[in-house]
Structure 1
Amino acid sequence: MPQSNHYHHLMFGPAAIARQKVDGSYTAYGSQTERPDDGPTPLDTREKAMIRALDQFQIATVAETGWPYIQYRSGPKGFLQVLDDHTLGFADFAGNHQYVTAANLDHDDRVALLLVNYPLRQRLKLYGRARTVEAADDPELLDRLKKIGDMTVAATCERSVVIDVEAFDWNCTRSIIPRYDAAYLAELSEVYQRKAGEREQELLQRISELEDQLTQSSTHRSDPGTPS
Structure 2
Amino acid sequence: MPDHAPPSSDIAFTPAVKAAQAARGARHLYARMEARGGFHTRLTPDLVQFLGEIDTAYLATASADGQPYVQHRGGPKGFIRALDEETLGFADFSGNRQYVTVGNASENPKAFLFLMDYAHRRRIKIWGELRAEEGDAALLAQLMPDGYGAIAERALLFRVRAWDVNCPQHIPQKIDAALVAAALHDRDARIAALEAEVARLRSLVSDAGTPASAD
- What is the TM-score with the length of structure 2 in the denominator? 0.78
- Gaps of at least 5 residues in structure 1 are 208-228
Matches within 5 A, 1:104-115: 104-115=104-115
User: Aligned-residue CA RMSD in angstroms?
Assistant: 2.8
Within 5 Å, give how 1:200-215 maps onto structure 2.
none
Find the partner of 1:180 among 175, 185, 199.
175
Give 1:121's aligned residue: 121
Paired residues, number: 197
Q: What does residue 24 of structure 1 align with?
A: 25
- Partners of 1:17 and 1:40 lie apart in 2 by 19
State the distance in 1 between where 2:143 and 2:161 align.
Answer: 21
Runs of 4+, deviation exceeding 6 Å: none
Partner of 2:13: 12
1:72 aligns with 2:72: yes
Are 2:160 and 1:170 aligned? no
Which of 135, 141, 144 is 1:143 aligned to? 141
1:133–1:160 Cα contact (<8 Å) kept: yes
Q: Which position in structure 1 is the counterpart of 2:156?
A: 161
SS in structure 1 of the partner of residue 163 of structure 2: strand
- Which whole-Å CA distance do the structure 1 matches of 2:187 and 2:83 have between them? 34
Residues 2-22 of structure 1, C-alpha deviations (whole Å, 9 max, x = no match): xx941x211111121122222
* Letter matched to residue 175 of structure 1: H
Whether the 8 Å CA contact 2:7–2:35 is kept in 1: the answer is: no
For 1:179, the aligned partner's letter is K
Share of identical aligned residues, percent?
34
Bigger Cα Rg: 1
TM-score by length of 1: 0.74
Separation in 2, partners of 1:189, 1:86: 40
- Tell me what 2:82 maps to: 82
- CA apart distance, 1:190: 5.6
> For structure 2, which runs of at least 5 residues remain unmatched after alignment?
1-5, 202-215
Q: Which amino acid aligns with 2:21?
A: Q
Write the distance in 2 (CA, Å) between the matches of 1:182 and 1:76. 13
Letter in 2 for 1:78: G
Change (3 A) 1:187 1:39: same
Q: Cα distance, 1:157 vs. partner?
A: 1.2
Alignment partners' CA distance in 2, 1:162 and 1:174: 30
Which letter does structure 1 place at the counterpart of 2:51?
A: I
2:3 corresponds to: none
State the shift of 1:45 in Å: 2.4
Which whole-Å CA distance do the structure 2 matches of 1:122 and 1:103 have between them? Answer: 30
CA distance in 2, matches of 1:40, 1:173: 19
Map Cα deviations across residues 109-163 of structure 1 (whole Å, 9 max, x no partner).
Answer: 11111111111000111111111001x2x110001111x3xx2333221100011
C-alpha distance in structure 1 between counterparts of 2:149 and 2:60, whole Å: 26
1:95: which partner in 2? 95
Q: Determine if contact 1:122/1:171 at 8 Å carries over to the other structure.
A: yes
C-alpha offsets along residues 14-66 of structure 1, whole Å, 9 cap, x if unaligned?
1211222222211211454457x679611222211221111121100011331
